[in-house]
Structure 1
Amino acid sequence: MMPRTLTINGQEISARNDQTILEAARDAHIHIPVLCHLDGLTDVGACRMCLVEVAGSNKLLPACTTRVQEGMEVRTDTQRLRAYRRQIIELLFAERNHVCAVCVANGHCELQNLGIEVGMDHVRYDYIFPKLGVDLSHERFGMDHNRCILCTRCVRACDQLEGAHTIDVMGRGAKSLIIRDMNVPWGESTTCTSCGKCVMACPTGALFKQGSTVAEMVHDAEKLAFLKAARERKVWNV
């Protein structure tokens, strides 16, 4: 497989021709913020946090889904990109009811961490304050739609790692909701295996273990990449 040579932030690096800009950057220890990306799952470029500038393109490109090209010149940390990323985080906070002080994932939340990283000390947009519910019908887990950012990591984990495809997205735009089966309460789902992979994948406090209180929910997302790699190597086959 022929390698590709490209430049990221003025640093010349080599990458495999099947790698994305995000993968190449990580191999070179160059930080690009992500939110909908999760190792072990396919990328969908939904959150736009990983947008980068590429010489010759008049638009910003998502690093998680853009393949490297020979001679590509990439910039990952410019004033324009920093402004976009802060705007994205602010819009996510304004769209739903994120109150970190009373969230089960407070201190263990990727959205919260990115807010700090981009320097968000206030939100410049009007909060929508939608009336959203909390589904506690499952005996082990809960779903708080107020904390959901529609990254679809839970959808992909359920489909690609568990193979159940219990979870999907209903609706359009800001009115979209994560649902189970044909929009039934989680506890009434006939396809859910109660594996907990969706809970592991969640970057916020939207999915949690029953009984978790403020700041107690820690998501073990890295375990999903381990499970996928182990399956590909057929570690557990006899």
Structure 2
Amino acid sequence: MKTCIIIPVYNHEHAIPRVISRLKGYGIYCLLVNDGSSAACSEVLEACARQESGWLTLLNRAENGGKGAAVIDGFNAAIRLGYTHALQIDADGQHNIDDIPRFLEAGRLNPEAMILGQPVFDESVPISRMYGHSLTNLCIVINTLSLAIADGMCGFRLYPLAAVDKLISTTPIGQGMNYDVDIAVRLYWQGVEAINLPTAVHYPYDGVSHFRLWRDNVMIAKTHAKLFFGMLIRIPQLLLRHWR
């Protein structure tokens, strides 16, 4: 098991140095993906990459393509470099980095599974985000005919890259905030098991969230609708999987 970390970054210049500082002690190679950030953020990312060149590489996207586009660029780079697993973490500091050993251990015990963060929210998380998670997770239950995926939106995950490579080389995946839902459901359809790990989630260090309530919820709703029709043609396959 050879694991790297992938962090998509879009204008989190105040939070990302702290995230990188906390990651350093784990000695895990990191791919930082600059998703067309501002000049100020790009300058911070370049400085971080120079300072931590021994374990951190910066990938620059010319234009902002969305979270999914950035993570998929990270996947492709990790696959080229020979990594077997990728740990995805958000750049805003909302994830509990101290849980990394738990994710790695779960991956070691279940190397072909996706290890999904199941958020334990505190009072800092907006109530609208909590309701959004609940609604999305209900849709995921429908679209997988299963309770296997406890949360489809948490961006703290460990992926088996062989399964990811198979998926992204044949199937378009959501490029924006719909990415987390889309890839989790499609990997499940592909036969990848889900292991859910409860993990504390706090609102971002810098108070910056790029989730746009109406735009991104419409995008996610369209993704759920597309997945629903995909589920319909997979009903026999999904039911047989549960029976087995």
TM over 0.5: no
Larger Rg: 1
Q: Which has the higher helix share?
A: 2
Task: Compute the TM-score of the two structures, normalised by the length of structure 2.
Answer: 0.29
After TM superposition, the score normalised by the length of structure 1 is 0.29
